[in-house]
Amino acid sequence: MFAIETENLTKYYGKHRGVVSLFLQVKEGQIFGYLGPNGAGKTTTIRLLMNLIGPMDGNAKVLGLDLNKSGLEARRHIGYLPGELSLYEDLTGKELLNYLGNLGRSVDWALVAYLSELFECDLTRPIRELSRGNKQKIGLIQAFMHKPDLLILDEPTIGLDPLMQHAFLELLERVKKEGRTVFLSSHNLGEVEKSCDEIGIIREGKLVAVESVESLKQKFLKHIEVEFKSAPPLEAFAGITNIIDIKPKGTVFEFVIQGELDPMLKRIAEFEVENLTSHDISLEDIFMDYYSGEMENA
Amino acid sequence: MLRSVYTKTLREISTSLLWWSVGLFGYVFFSCYFYPVIASKASAFVQLIKDVSLMNFFTGASGDFVTPQGYLFSEFFSAIGPLLLIIFSIGFGADAIAGEENRKTADLLLSNPITRSRIILDKFLVLLTGNFVLSLALWLGFLLGGHIYHIQIDSLKLIQTNLGMFLLSLSFGSLAFMVSAWLGQKGLASSISTLISVISYFLWGFGSMVNSLKPYEKLSLFYYYAGDNPLKKGLSSKSALILLVPAVVCLIVALGTYEKRDIRI
């Protein structure tokens, strides 16, 4: 069963594109990273899933509930952190959690105590006196405090220091172990790479890739530098289709490879190799490739 | 105080509501305090009003400034009272829904399992409560001031006048509330409502003096509230109903439009 399922979801703001024909499926129990640059349609997707805006076409289901018909029931099982978090400044953290807890969901106060300790968050101070990071912690606590089946988090670690980011990743691990689902939109690619089972990349309102991080890494371009004892002829590598590019510099050859490495390694083994360097590909490289168009060109 | 949108919103405005109530109570009380001085110089005031026809505008078209009913109507009920209540009402009405969007708390609020109609009804209930509390403060001010300074006013007509003022300010507040819920724009909601209330006031105020405006004075809600001094003649049930209709219509439109529209980011 899918925790999130959208079908042809489309949203325009006048002439401006939000998302176009979005088909998205997020499996239950996984942590799904949703990536894209500013304006790609991430927040539009999230606000559609939260029923804050309505689609022009298509539909969405959350935890098997059609948002058009059962949006209220769906929200009962969702913990949400908005990207542009704004809290009621006149309340203290505890008052805010108490207020939100009275709006249709029961709060696990033992969990609140655990979360406030995990994030080192003082819930007794008025929110207007808190720093950006401390407000973000309260935002996270309110999203997690009722043990939702699905968490929709838009830029959850903005303003958090590295220690708190680490605490957040720990919390995601705990949620995952409990079999709950997390839909995570983030610009922090390191965080996504560490925590997500699968990622979706959105560009100009369209979903351009949905895959596991490992699988994406497999598919993406790898840069391998090989130093030969004496330079082999370029023709020796002809016919290996997954070599995208070769840049020879004397006896050092830089190979750009897509997919499996095996055919290329077998071929270079026919020559005397002095050194071989493989540049680890990060999610950031993949992301940059997608947006620079290198992937398409390849 | 944080059990619902109603109690949370009431808490937000409680300090402001308290000071508004104190201010209105004080204004009314001191209006009563000055009445004996006015009554003692009755002939001079009557002459002034006869000489300057524009004074009718400021005395609520009654031309009566020296009887208790005439004085209180001119001093408070014809202009300053309803306008102060309307300012409060429009201020809250415009902020009620759009304010949550302007302050960007709407996303957080609506992510909870609460219907939009529940939010509209709770916020509208705060508008009603606010208007009621201010009307109550006014009534208490008149009750105490009238008692201390021996101003004889029919208590039923005083209640009817207060009710009329309550419904009048509620209607303009509801207009602001409706625009706020419909468009999510606080500035636009308060501008439109203020403009309409000012036009409505002048239409009624000048309607009794300018013949060409006479046919249009019935378009003004002030006409149904003030008529010919409700402190003297009371508020008819027909007028009360007419004053109530805009509030009900605005609430229905607010419910219908807020339910489906996109929440502004």
Could you report the per-residue pLDDT of A197-253, keeping only the tens digit for each?
999 999 899 998 898 877 776 767 778 899 999 999 998 998 888 888 899 999 999
Q: Give per-residue burial for B174-197: e unless 16+ CB within 10 Å, then b.
A: bbbbbbbbbbbbbebbbebbbebb
Residue A261 pLDDT grade (very low, low, confident, very high; cuts 50, 70, 90): confident
- Judge if A104 and A206 occupy the same domain: yes
CA distance A43 to A23: 16
**Which residues pair with residue A60 across a beta bridge?**
A6
- Judge if A88 and A153 occupy the same domain: yes
Q: Which of B104, B108, B109, B116 to mutate to test the interface with A (most CBs of A within 10 A)?
A: B108
Q: Which residues of B touch A (CB under 8 A)?
A: 2-5, 8, 12, 103-115, 260, 262-263, 265
End-to-end CA distance of chain A: 35
Q: Is residue A142 part of a domain?
A: yes
Q: Which domain holds residue A205?
A: 2-212
- Judge if A241 and A101 occupy the same domain: no
Closest-CA distance of chain B to residue A42, Å: 14
**Chain A residues inside the 8 Å CB shell of B260:** 54
**Chain A residues inside the 8 Å CB shell of B113:** 72-73, 75-76, 103-105
Q: Which of A52, A67, A80 to mutate to test the interface with B (most CBs of B within 10 A)?
A: A52
- Judge if A123 and A61 occupy the same domain: yes
Q: Is residue A285 part of a domain?
A: no
To which residue do tokens 């988090």 refer? Answer: A153
Q: Which two tokens stand for residue B16?
A: 């402001």
Between B8, B260, B263, which is nearest A52 by CB? Answer: B263
Contact assignment for B113 to A95 by CB distance below 8 Å: no
Q: Tell me the per-residue pLDDT of A100-132, one tens digit each, with 9 for 90 and over.
A: 999 988 889 999 999 999 999 999 999 999 999
Q: Tell me the per-residue pLDDT of B197-232, one tens digit each, with 9 for 90 and over.
A: 999 998 988 887 788 888 888 899 999 998 767 888
| The domain boundary residue, chosen from A159, A188, A212 | A212
Cβ within 8 Å of residue A104, ≥6 positions away:
A75, A76, B112, B113, B114
Contact assignment for B113 to A75 by CB distance below 8 Å: yes
**B194-200 long-range contacts, Cβ below 8 Å, gap at least 24?**
B194/B90, B196/B172, B197/B86, B197/B90, B197/B172, B200/B172
Contact assignment for B108 to A76 by CB distance below 8 Å: no
Count A/B contacts: CB-CB distance under 8 Å. 71
What is the ipTM score, two decimals?
A: 0.85
Nearest 5°: CA angle at B199, between B195 and B203?
175
- Judge if A208 and A272 occupy the same domain: no
Report the number of distinct structural domains present in chain A. 2
